[in-house]
Structure 1
Amino acid sequence: MLLDRIKPLDAILATAKKTSLKRTLGPIQLMLFGIGCIIGTGIFVLTAAGAQKAGPGLMLAFAIAGLVCIVAALCYAEIAAMIPVAGSAYTYSYATMGELLAWTVGWALILEYAIAASAVSVGWSGYFTGTILNQFLGIELPQWLAAGPLALGGEPGGLVNLPAMAIALLITGLLMIGTNESARVNAVLVVIKVAALTAFMALTFTSPEFDADRFNPFLPAGVFGGFGSGLGAVGAAATIFFAYVGFDAVSTAAEETRNPQRNVPIGLVGSLLFCTVFYILVAAGAIGTIGGQPIVGPDGIPFPAGSEQLALQCAMPQYSAALVCSDEALAHVLRQIGFSGIGNMLGIAAFLALPSVILVLLFAQTRIFFVMSRDGLLPEGLSRIHPRWNTPYVVTAITGTIVAFAAAFFPVGQLADIANAGTLYAFLMVAVAVMLLRRSAPDRKRDFRVPALWLVAPATILGCGFLFLNLPAEAMLVLPIWSLIGLAVYFGYSRRRSHLGRGIIEVHEPEYAEIEPGIPGVDDRKGA
């Protein structure tokens, strides 16, 4: 039977207990951790791509994506508080749906976090070249060094995105040698990002340039652009869903959280609600001041975001100031309405803050690798701990190299769409897991229960599936292809090496008990 390997819930909890990690995180730290990971490339960069897909309907797109994330977060909150261990959706699936489906979830999460880190690296590159090099140093980086040549649709660009590749490799090196941000530095970076967005809203909403007429037509491409088109408010929601990716990383910290039954739900839902309100207001400020209408072709259909056709249009003088043409959207808006100095400061905020998002995403990806290796599904050598650095340096180096390659050669919008494909699948499976656990373990203590689970969980499943079908067709194809590769690995290696398959129910390796990857923003921890 392919679905007969279900890891006992008590064994998972016993494994977590034996690792003896210090529970140091409280609700505020978790919210800061979530906000710090969520607010990043999605709002600082993808605002332009979202506007090209939906126009002023970008505001509705943020609401749609936020609603799907909130119902998914409620499912995450119940199961993460109930199973406070590392591994996120992968571990939850292992305890409910069995090893095979858990493998597919873990494999999708590997895709999500790695590609998301690449997308953030490309987003950082736009602010680095536009604000730091161009505005402050007066250096114009050649196009062939500032953009990659590849796109899923075959559109040409530059040669290599050198800054994106460099920042990805730099963060990888920091993680390998064990350099963690302190909790204080992480909190400062969160404050910088929130302060920058607050200043942006204040300046745009009070600007004389703000005009309600810029919101008409509100939905130039309609609400629903058609499956696989990536257009309309729903298509934009499928892309800017990336702006919310990261809240699930909070659940990977459940094993190191004080009173996880209370604090994990607060961290998950609180950070999401905070960011959703911010995103809608920031989108309104940007569109109300300089407009956000998409650039359309002769057929009246918006050009694909990140395409060669759009790039050619943006090179024309009449579109040079358009929101949809900017690589650093929010800083660009402020410069256009006469706040160049503050726009540059916002660019600096993004330049300083986005590397912390890359770091958190790479951390979460290596943690998934770590737990899958601990279960025997991946070679244990991948999670080998460096004797001096005390970090899983092998998997970090491999991951970082792949992230740097993708960042060097792919555009941010398409990287975000690929990452979203894996994320939506993982979220969907978490909702299924919550429903199955309610049936298989109805008496187990739940300090947080999803209200109206009969509605919330199916809404999560339908919402994630609907957004997935509204991704561009090329991005939708990546997940099944990646999954087929994963199934080949599973049946060729993982299934016969699995600890559970060999009768090892309670997995516990002393090497891993002493040292596990640290959470950025929290002091390094060893066994208590």
Structure 2
Amino acid sequence: MIFGRVKPLDAILATAEKKSLHRTLGWFQLTLFGIGCVIGTGIFVLTSAGAQKAGPGLMLAFAIAGAICIVAAFCYAEIAAMIPVAGSAYTYTYSTMGEVLAWTVGWALILEYAVAASAVSVGWSGYFTGTILNEFLGIHLPAWLSGAPLALGGVEGGFINLPAVLISLLITWLLMVGTTESARVNAVLVAIKVTALTAFVLLTLPSDQFSTDKFNPFLPAGVFGGFGSGLGAVGAAATIFFAYVGFDAVSTAAEETKNPQRNVPIGLVGSLLFCTIFYILVAAGAIGTVGGQPILGPNGVPFPAGSEELARQCATFAANDLPLVCSNEALAHVLRQIGWSGVGNMLGIAAFLALPSVILILMFGQTRIFFVMSRDGLLPEKLSAVHPKWKTPYIVTALTGAAVAFAAAFLPVGKLADIANAGTLYAFMMVAFAVMILRRTAPDRRRDFRTPALWLMGPLTIAGCIFLFFNLPLDAMLVLPIWGAVGLLIYYGYSYRASHLGRGIIEVHEDEAVHGVEPKVPGTH
């Protein structure tokens, strides 16, 4: 025991079998789930914010974030196949480091998934208003209905992002209907998204307007922008890391997966490798054709992404001369700028259709974290109630959707992404610790996937997560300890006493695992 009550692995698996979700997902669906979340906001939306932080050094930022995610993915793959239950990093921590730390991880994951879903909702809103309304319908939604307030990093005249609210609520309803239905819709949307990005690469990289000169200066803000600034290549990596984290949503679906020991590692590692290639190619096409230099302040330092200063600077450009760093629909904007307006509009439609799949996966992961924490008694058990017809945790899904819609209404995408990353990086770090601990405490337990060179991969994951965390903007860094403090108040005020493990409310198999009693074989005495 490291910190608090530790729930043995056998007890966790026994609880999952007693009150479980239906297993319907195969390796192909899991891979699509990962692709659906990973390829999305980072390319369609955060390309602009990343370029403002790093300029053409966005390419290096993708490489940095991708490298850290790859080592983290191998850690996730081993432990997700070994413990194929809902809960992700929360469950893994519970079985290795104790209930208190498990609570902090679960609480951080709630922050990660809900805020990230809000960020993608805001990104979708940019394509909806820019392509669907403006380009096709000639409708210009008033700024006060389509953007966050300027004081929060939004746009001049912004008050509420109504399209982002509406898409959040629509996805909430879809998730309440059922997992299998959600997976089928997601498969179609992933195909649309990959097709659109492939077309983008084929039109930009061979384009006559592509020039290596547009990559100079490659690092206008340097590699490190300074503590708390969120600038430079590493600062951009800390932001766009957000777009890589879809693979851990795959591990939250382990309890609903057929043959998880085989399928979860395939879904995790396969989706990440597939998506990383797209990130680099699309970013190269965007910067090489229209450039990606940031807008600099009077001191020669880029204005912070999502700041009032940047919003005011962007407002001075004409719509047809808008820099990449100012666009709310970056990739469609690039294609329009190089003479492919029709294809740019089609890509905008693809983003409009496909980004909801990202929201779906993030909200799916968040509701499953809530579900398993409630099942353990750390949150009110009513939250884990499964709908008799839809077979989904409908109460917690509805609550999640309301929170996602609220955040999407009033905050811009860049700030939401940074806040989500704070929780994500903490959870990833704890997973690496859990894998290394289990290698020592349960060396003989079956592992269908083993992290290669764990002695190196584990510490690299921990160091990489800490490194990126301290390159987030200062306000995003502060969110995690404040959120964590609120969580600990709830834990010691309610969860500590209500915990099933603490109260001894455990299944028969759990009792045997906790007290070391040998289970009786039927027919013996």
Same fold (TM over 0.5): yes
Query: Is 1:464 matched with 2:470?
Result: no
SS in 2 for 1:501: helix
SS in 2 for 1:500: helix
- Spell out the pairing of 1:295-310 with structure 2 (5 A cutoff): 295-310=295-310
Q: Contact (CA 8 Å) 2:52, 2:305: kept in 1 or not?
A: yes
CA offsets, 1:153-204, max 9 Å, x none? 7986501111111111222233334485364432221111111111000000
Q: Which residue of 2 aligns with 1:84?
A: 84
Determine the C-alpha separation between the residues in 2 that align with 1:21 and 1:167: 26
Q: Which residue of 2 aligns with 1:169?
A: 169
Q: Contact (CA 8 Å) 1:296, 1:302: kept in 2 or not?
A: yes
Q: Which residue of 2 aligns with 1:149?
A: 149
Determine the C-alpha separation between the residues in 2 that align with 1:176 and 1:267: 23
Determine the C-alpha separation between the residues in 1 that align with 2:324 and 2:508: 52
TM-score normalised by length of structure 1: 0.93
Unaligned runs of at least 5 residues, structure 1: 510-528
Once the two structures are TM-superposed, the CA of residue 39 in structure 1 deviates from its matched residue by 1.3
Query: Is 1:208 matched with 2:212?
Result: no
Determine the C-alpha separation between the residues in 2 that align with 1:438 and 1:473: 36
- Spell out the pairing of 1:489-528 with structure 2 (5 A cutoff): 489-506=490-507
The letter of the residue matching 1:139 is I
SS in 1 for 2:446: coil
Aligned residues: 509
Q: Contact (CA 8 Å) 2:88, 2:248: kept in 1 or not?
A: yes
Q: Which residue of 1 aligns with 2:268?
A: 268
Check 1:425–1:156 CA distance in 2 against 1; reply closer, same or farther (3 A cut): farther
Check 1:508–1:472 CA distance in 2 against 1; reply closer, same or farther (3 A cut): farther
Once the two structures are TM-superposed, the CA of residue 4 in structure 1 deviates from its matched residue by 3.6
Determine the C-alpha separation between the residues in 2 that align with 1:216 and 1:507: 65
- Spell out the pairing of 1:225-244 with structure 2 (5 A cutoff): 225-244=225-244
Q: Which residue of 2 aligns with 1:63?
A: 63
Q: Contact (CA 8 Å) 1:150, 1:409: kept in 2 or not?
A: no
Once the two structures are TM-superposed, the CA of residue 257 in structure 1 deviates from its matched residue by 2.5
Determine the C-alpha separation between the residues in 1 that align with 2:267 and 2:500: 32
Q: Which residue of 1 aligns with 2:253?
A: 253
Q: Which residue of 2 aligns with 1:282?
A: 282
The letter of the residue matching 1:437 is L
Determine the C-alpha separation between the residues in 1 that align with 2:469 and 2:126: 27
The letter of the residue matching 2:268 is L
Q: Contact (CA 8 Å) 2:84, 2:254: kept in 1 or not?
A: yes
Determine the C-alpha separation between the residues in 2 that align with 1:295 and 1:175: 40
CA offsets, 1:427-467, max 9 Å, x none? 00000000110111111111211111111000000000110
Q: Which residue of 2 aligns with 1:198?
A: 198
Q: Which residue of 1 aligns with 2:479?
A: 478
Check 1:383–1:255 CA distance in 2 against 1; reply closer, same or farther (3 A cut): closer
SS in 2 for 1:455: helix
Q: Which residue of 2 aligns with 1:441?
A: 442
Q: Which residue of 2 aligns with 1:512?
A: none
Once the two structures are TM-superposed, the CA of residue 296 in structure 1 deviates from its matched residue by 0.1
Q: Contact (CA 8 Å) 2:189, 2:354: kept in 1 or not?
A: yes
* RMSD value, Cα: 2.0
Check 1:492–1:156 CA distance in 2 against 1; reply closer, same or farther (3 A cut): farther
Q: Which residue of 2 aligns with 1:128?
A: 128
Identity of aligned residues (%): 80
Check 1:182–1:240 CA distance in 2 against 1; reply closer, same or farther (3 A cut): closer
Once the two structures are TM-superposed, the CA of residue 19 in structure 1 deviates from its matched residue by 4.3
Q: Which residue of 1 aligns with 2:371?
A: 370
Once the two structures are TM-superposed, the CA of residue 418 in structure 1 deviates from its matched residue by 0.4
CA offsets, 1:102-146, max 9 Å, x none? 000000000111001100100000000000000000011111111
Q: Contact (CA 8 Å) 2:387, 2:394: kept in 1 or not?
A: yes
Once the two structures are TM-superposed, the CA of residue 321 in structure 1 deviates from its matched residue by 2.3
Once the two structures are TM-superposed, the CA of residue 256 in structure 1 deviates from its matched residue by 2.7
Higher mean C-alpha displacement, 262-271 vs 482-491: 262-271
Query: Is 1:326 matched with 2:343?
Result: no
Q: Contact (CA 8 Å) 2:34, 2:250: kept in 1 or not?
A: yes
CA offsets, 1:291-334, max 9 Å, x none? 00000011000001121211221122379421001000000000
TM-score normalised by length of structure 2: 0.93
Check 1:151–1:497 CA distance in 2 against 1; reply closer, same or farther (3 A cut): farther
Determine the C-alpha separation between the residues in 1 that align with 2:493 and 2:368: 23
Q: Which residue of 2 aligns with 1:31?
A: 31
Check 1:22–1:146 CA distance in 2 against 1; reply closer, same or farther (3 A cut): closer
CA offsets, 1:395-454, max 9 Å, x none? 222211111111010000000000000000000000000011011111111121111111
Higher mean C-alpha displacement, 96-105 vs 260-269: 260-269
Unaligned runs of at least 5 residues, structure 2: 511-525
CA offsets, 1:241-272, max 9 Å, x none? 11112110101122232332222111111111
Determine the C-alpha separation between the residues in 2 that align with 1:168 and 1:431: 32
Q: Contact (CA 8 Å) 1:80, 1:264: kept in 2 or not?
A: yes
